Amino acid sequence: MVTRFIPPNFKIPELLETDRFRLRMLTVNDVKKDYDAVITSIEHLQETKPFGSTHKWPTEDLTYEQDLIDLEWHQKEFQKRASFAYIVMNLDETECLGCTYIYPSDTPNYDAMIMMWVRQSEVANGLDGLLFFSVKKWIHDKWPFEKVAYPGREIGWDGVE
């Protein structure tokens, strides 16, 4: 039996905004700012492994075009309601601060898996903790999930990879 990730009549939240950042749908129009955030944070992202202990993204040879392809895929998945990628922007929309991803879980223990990252320059000012706290509350308050996994944060990657 195939189950839907989210109910067909569920209205996808468009925005999460705090006094420090805005979370909104990631689109191809964000490629320049997203690429800058990723490419200037390679060392940090490889150390923190926001997508799993064996995941290699990003690598030094990531091109602008490859990032554009990734963003096209994320945008299409969002439109199909199959997964949801949100860009984390500063409030004046001049800089990408990171991204948050909502995926269906591969295991029956969870409804959804939430991953996120912040750019290296934002780590020292506590954005990672604030983003995690804010997203966790937003998911609880606005999304239809009962069991949510935050791998690499609240649970290990074993069992979800």
Per-residue confidence band for 157, with pLDDT thresholds at 50, 70 and 90? low
Residue 145: phi, psi to the nearest 5?
-90, 145
Q: Which CATH number fits domain 19-149: 3.30.530.20, 2.60.40.1260, 3.40.920.10, 3.40.630.30?
A: 3.40.630.30
**Sheet containing strand 84-89, strands side by side:** 15-17, 22-25, 84-89, 96-104, 112-118, 148-149
Distance CA 127, CA 97 (A): 9
Residues whose CB falls within 8 Å of the CB of residue 123, separated by 6 or more in sequence, listed in order: 44
Residues 8-42: tens digit of each pLDDT: 999 999 999 999 999 999 999 999 999 999 999 88
Domain boundaries, the chain: 19-149
| pLDDT digits 0-9 by tens, 49-108 | 555 566 666 778 889 999 999 999 999 999 999 999 999 999 999 999 999 999 999 888
Q: What is the pLDDT of residue 82?
A: 95
